Structure 1
Amino acid sequence: KAKSLSSRIAGYFKKGGKNKEAKIDFLLRKAADVEFIITDNEKEALLLENTLIKKHKPRYNIQLKDDKTYVSIRIGMEQVFPGISIVRKILKDGALYFGPYSSAASARSTLDQVIKAFKLRSCKDREFSNRVRPCLEFDLSRCSAPCVNKISKSDYKEHVEDTILFLKRSSKELLQKLNRKMKDLSASMKYEDAAKIRDVVSQIKETLVNQKVVVHGGKDQDVIGLVQNNSTIAICILMVRKGALLGRVLDIKNLIQDDNKTLLENFILEYYSKNKDIPERILLSEQISNKHEYEELLSELGGKRVRIAYLQKGRGHDLITLAIKNAKEELRIRQVDKDKFEKILGKLQTKLHLQNYPNVIECFDITNLMGREAYGSLVCFVNGKPDKSRYRLYKIQSVHTPDDYSMMKEVLSRRFGQIMRKNEIRVTETFAEPDLVLIDGGKGQLNVARSVLDEFGFSNLPVASIAKAKKTDPENNKPDQNDDKIYIVNRKNPVSFKRSSPEFLFLKRVRDEAHRFGIKTHRKSRIRSFFDAK
């Protein structure tokens, strides 16, 4: 959780931070991607974090893994004279629960002020039933002493009703009263007392910040928000289970010439025909035409009664607004990414002297241990993003010695020979040639790649290589990746890049992804061979 997620996440990648915990390095090695959910305020972020940590039980989050949860305020309506208290567990005992509240200290402070204002008892039921005289709370004007009949049942009930209205956010009248009292105290030059009232008002506003990510007694529901721009549709599903927001699903589609109602109808059929976790209520950002027919269909698919609703006010409407907000943000991020990668790829085209814009880039890497368990990996980036449907692994078949050049030749021959044979029956799936071939290696691997491409008739297909650094970083005794070299054909010296330039970092990212993809399978194969030998 953070106001600025980009700054927060960037801090994880800074080297040598004074306050950087050791666990961060281990976490980064395991992390593959970053996902986020937008909330309307910090309180919602805290509550959502609590819910997600308890659901997923991440290894490196220990603070919120236990059974503790955020505090709630309880009014024991099962009693003739209900008491008020702060609890963590929500029970089905006839009591009313309000919250949860992310700030326990602020919640307790506000409860203290509520007790002063409405004089509800805060003692335990056993203590209340055994009292024969008022306690100290009565003497301090913090309790109306219902235990010894100092207040009638009807008057106490009125106090309880006022408290419930306040905790249900009908607090405007009370805040106005406190503000008037504060002004009167200031006019009487009782500034210290006025400051105390000011602090009470601030605490009430902080504690009762509206949140919608956790609701006591809430139902299972999906909240679907749809947004479209000129060329893309974003659909966000917020999954609420038992009143708690557990996560979101985002679906991005190319724009279809339909109105939002038709798009939602088609999405509902597509999504829930595959997903059997159908909640009892589905909230939509648009009204649909055949609501009853869809309700019957979803009820049949889910095996329970399902209702579809479009709400224009209340908590449900707030959730719909939140879903739309998340969908809009996803569209915005995608557009920013698109603009960023267009700029990066355009600069690459200039730097590498490419005739065509490098929209599709394929990178090849070889992984082996002294010639054993050898694999060639192919990763593909389209529009600057990995396209994993085009990833391929090649188990080296013709080379059994540590010969990277021959292994690279075999992998490239199989890849581009497949394109040449794509009209044959035995070739069931292949992809057209990329706009740029990137090789993990130096000039030797680059020359091998060029000869293979020429052999198969791809003499116009540009190829470049990225050679790992030879210099060592003195801080960690590892190769200094800032010293990696980029080579192209018919050029003796490496292409000059600023080491912090986005295009140079992008090429390293593509290379590192090819290495990661290949080494993962290589390690699994080594482990399998080790146990087979046993």
Structure 2
Amino acid sequence: MSDVHSDELLAQVAALPALPGVYRYFDAQDALLYVGKALNLKRRVSSYFQKNHGGTRIGHMVGKIARMETTVVRSEAEALLLENNLIKSLNPKFNILFRDDKSYPYLKITGTANATGDAPGQLFPRMAYYRGAVDKKHRYFGPYPSAWAVKETIQLLQKVFRLRTCEDTVFANRTRPCLLYQIKRCTGPCVNLISPEAYAADVQNAEALLRGETQELLQALEARMMAHSDKLEFEQAAEVRNQIQALSRVLHQQAIETADDKDVDILAVRVQGGRACVNLAMVRGGRHLGDRPYFPVHVEDAAGVFAEEEGEEAPPGTQPVRPVEVLVLEAFIAQHYIGVPVPPLLVTSVPVDKALLDALTEQSGLRVSAIHQPREQRRAWLDMAQKNADLQLARLLAEEGSQQARTRALAEALDMPPEDLDRLTIECFDISHTAGESTQASCVVFHHHKMQSSEYRRYKIEGITGGDDYAAMRQVLTRRYSKVAEAAREAGGIDYAANPGPEDEKAARPKGAARLPDLVLIDGGKGQVGVAREVFTALGLDLTRIVGVEKGEGRKVGLEELVFADGREKVYLGKDSAALMLVAQIRDEAHRFAITGMRAARAKVRVGGGQLEEIAGVGPKKRARLLQRFGGVRGVAAASVQDLLTVDGISRELAEEIYRALR
């Protein structure tokens, strides 16, 4: 392979040290291809360039390498952590990648355990659902696999310990207890129906339950009940007895384990058809909180490179290559626990490398161990997680197979080239307004067999007669595709509207240049398609890409016809056609996206939302005071200057400015 690489790159390879480290390969367009780790950088990296790998995946990757970067580290654990940090942040093509999920939710109890103060959040701590960065001002329990798991736990604690969940502002202004007190889900601290000392004891007991200290908690409650009884405090003893009974019911209903396993993550992996699923189930405080599936990308390419790497370094006659399931699970563990606390025990469906566990231990400061052949309760947890992994992957493959079939059916119905269906790109436009008010156009994007919500765009339509859908469509298409035409002219006639292959796309089209989709769907018939034809003709773009979706007889679903801008006859696909299902899916998504944007814009126009934020001198605090004082934007708009002056922080000059701006 050395004849396809520059002398500079080969000299860099020859000069590498025999030390542990991380290496990164880049192609000619400076896109990251691969991130790897090695105990011996010189031996590992040299192996890529010293032989011909043929048409294998590793050969395909090596042929693209144009430059390389390396980082020397002190240990294998450091190399592993750095490798996966880079994989997660840089998204290389030939590594298994688990995309970032939303941050995990937590259960928050306000205030700190030992601090004192008169603030409601400290004197009578509140339970709340929380998602975001944790701090030292409050106590956090979790993470939980889903919002549902947090809310279920809050309900559990309300049944047993009756802690409050109301906001501090609501708490401070109550004059009588709320409905939660009436149904015995709160002890009414807002109106002093419980002392701070008794409430603090309930908070401590709730935290003990969350930590999984169930036996100790039951024993403490029983001792407390007996102490009240000995003092002839029978009412207090009865209250504690009721708590014990409620807690016993919860322990039975929730199947809370009283064994040593209080915090455990159960990880099951399934690989099939080039796709993989890792199912993560969480046990916290002895409670099984539920699970969440993860689907990595680049599995086939990465597994091919891994297999050939390990095969080259193994002694003759051995079978060193680890199963794909092991590679996937180790990639998940290394990437997932970068930003999520790791429990002391992992129960896994396949064995994982000890070096990975050592790296997690070093990173977290907590001794982390793993078992892959568990018994008893752990075996039941793992079997359940494995079954869920199998079901989730089967569902994914069925959905992807169905969607790919729809894409293929549409390409065949429209006589489009079937070579690279993964890259078939469709954009669909819809116009939405109410009696001409707040007209908006939506553009939704489909490629790689699914809707790409991150590429959706909304366009605010201005300067037209209200209700003129044709003018609105003309404006949005001109704004959307004028850059495509301009890029083509500047490049001397190169057709950026064409659909280049995956290998030469970046070389054929400058970075940042616009690209015309393979298909432009217009939600409308001949009239709307005629407008699109006029725009594309004026811009010098390909008319064959424009297709209108015309309602059928009686506007019934399934009777739609496709209308073409280039003069072709209408096409009726049939109500059971997979191609029509895809067209309807994309059109309906464009309509939904337009409707939601239009409603938001209309609400802002009608109630003045957004105007308050735009007034100079009205920051978040003053805005909150105004809205609280007058009950909303309508109330602020109706207030006189004298009324506005009664709000703390509002000067006469600012009151007059608010009065003018909202009228």
TM-score bucket (shorter structure): 0.5 to 0.7
CA deviation digits over 1:292-320, x for unaligned, max 9? 423324524xxx55443333433323433
1:523 Cα deviation after fit: 0.8
Cα distance between partner residues in 2 of 1:229 and 1:428:
36
The partner residue of 2:414 within 352, 361, 377 is 352
Change (3 A) 1:325 1:382: farther
The partner residue of 2:342 within 265, 273, 278 is 278
- Assess if the C-alpha contact under 8 Å between 2:410 and 2:582 holds in 1: no
- Structure 1 residue aligned with 2:578: 502
Cα distance between partner residues in 1 of 2:483 and 2:561:
30
- Structure 2 residue aligned with 1:251: 295
Change (3 A) 1:440 1:332: same
1:524 Cα deviation after fit: 0.9
Structure 1 position 531 matched with structure 2 position 654: no
1:492 Cα deviation after fit: 7.8
The partner residue of 1:452 within 531, 535, 538 is 535
Change (3 A) 1:297 1:370: farther
Change (3 A) 1:264 1:247: closer
- Assess if the C-alpha contact under 8 Å between 1:236 and 1:249 holds in 2: yes
Equivalences for residues 156-235 of structure 1 within 5 A: 215-216=257-258, 218-235=261-278
Equivalences for residues 411-430 of structure 1 within 5 A: 411-421=476-486
Equivalences for residues 235-384 of structure 1 within 5 A: 235-242=278-285, 243-255=287-299, 256-257=302-303, 258=306, 259=322, 260-274=325-339, 276-289=340-353, 290-300=355-365, 305-355=367-417, 359-384=424-449
Change (3 A) 1:292 1:272: closer
Equivalences for residues 36-185 of structure 1 within 5 A: 55-56=150-151, 67=159, 92=215
- Assess if the C-alpha contact under 8 Å between 2:432 and 2:441 holds in 1: yes
Cα distance between partner residues in 1 of 2:264 and 2:298:
27
Matched residue type, 1:352: L
Cα distance between partner residues in 1 of 2:334 and 2:398:
31
1:508 Cα deviation after fit: 1.5
- Assess if the C-alpha contact under 8 Å between 2:267 and 2:349 holds in 1: yes
Cα distance between partner residues in 1 of 2:157 and 2:478:
52
User: What are structure 1's unaligned runs of at least 5 residues?
Assistant: 1-50, 69-89, 97-124, 126-210, 472-478
1:422 Cα deviation after fit: 5.8
Cα distance between partner residues in 2 of 1:442 and 1:214:
60
Cα distance between partner residues in 1 of 2:486 and 2:383:
53
Computed over aligned residues only, the root mean square deviation of the Cα atoms, in angstroms, reads: 4.1
Cα distance between partner residues in 1 of 2:575 and 2:559:
8
- Structure 2 residue aligned with 1:435: 518
1:336 Cα deviation after fit: 2.4
Cα distance between partner residues in 1 of 2:298 and 2:217:
50
Structure 1 position 466 matched with structure 2 position 549: yes
CA deviation digits over 1:363-408, x for unaligned, max 9? 1111123433222111112243211122111222443532211211
Q: Secondary structure at the match of 1:481?
A: coil
1:410 Cα deviation after fit: 1.8
CA deviation digits over 1:431-453, x for unaligned, max 9? 63322111111111112223323
1:430 Cα deviation after fit: 6.2
- Structure 2 residue aligned with 1:110: none
Q: Secondary structure at the match of 2:592?
A: helix
Structure 1 position 392 matched with structure 2 position 457: yes
Cα distance between partner residues in 2 of 1:399 and 1:307:
66
- Assess if the C-alpha contact under 8 Å between 2:544 and 2:564 holds in 1: no
Q: Secondary structure at the match of 2:281?
A: strand
Cα distance between partner residues in 2 of 1:318 and 1:459:
60
Cα distance between partner residues in 1 of 2:157 and 2:602:
36
CA deviation digits over 1:347-377, x for unaligned, max 9? 2233334345763221111112343322211
CA deviation digits over 1:157-196, x for unaligned, max 9? xxxxxxxxxxxxxxxxxxxxxxxxxxxxxxxxxxxxxxxx
Change (3 A) 1:320 1:483: same
- Structure 1 residue aligned with 2:475: 410
- Structure 1 residue aligned with 2:563: 487
Query: Aligned residue pairs: how many?
Result: 339
- Assess if the C-alpha contact under 8 Å between 1:371 and 1:399 holds in 2: no
Cα distance between partner residues in 2 of 1:419 and 1:271:
40
Change (3 A) 1:212 1:488: farther
Cα distance between partner residues in 2 of 1:383 and 1:484:
24
Change (3 A) 1:230 1:496: closer
User: What are structure 2's unaligned runs of at least 5 residues?
Assistant: 1-145, 161-212, 220-225, 227-252, 307-321, 491-509, 609-661
CA deviation digits over 1:398-429, x for unaligned, max 9? 435322112112212222223345699xx985
Cα distance between partner residues in 2 of 1:65 and 1:92:
16
CA deviation digits over 1:79-105, x for unaligned, max 9? xxxxxxxxxxx9636989xxxxxxxxx
- Assess if the C-alpha contact under 8 Å between 1:439 and 1:445 holds in 2: yes
Cα distance between partner residues in 1 of 2:399 and 2:514:
25
Cα distance between partner residues in 2 of 1:223 and 1:330:
16
Cα distance between partner residues in 2 of 1:91 and 1:305:
24
Change (3 A) 1:351 1:428: closer
Cα distance between partner residues in 2 of 1:232 and 1:492:
40
- Assess if the C-alpha contact under 8 Å between 1:345 and 1:384 holds in 2: yes
1:514 Cα deviation after fit: 0.5
Change (3 A) 1:312 1:65: closer
Change (3 A) 1:338 1:430: farther
Matched residue type, 1:434: P
Cα distance between partner residues in 1 of 2:151 and 2:487:
45
Deviates more, 1:316-325 or 1:434-443: 316-325
Cα distance between partner residues in 2 of 1:66 and 1:502:
50
Cα distance between partner residues in 2 of 1:267 and 1:406:
51
Identity between Structure 1 and Structure 2 (%): 25
CA deviation digits over 1:8-36, x for unaligned, max 9? xxxxxxxxxxxxxxxxxxxxxxxxxxxxx
- Assess if the C-alpha contact under 8 Å between 1:352 and 1:488 holds in 2: no
Matched residue type, 2:338: S
Cα distance between partner residues in 2 of 1:65 and 1:345:
49
Cα distance between partner residues in 1 of 2:431 and 2:271:
43
Cα distance between partner residues in 2 of 1:408 and 1:415:
11
Q: Secondary structure at the match of 1:367?
A: strand
- Assess if the C-alpha contact under 8 Å between 1:223 and 1:320 holds in 2: yes
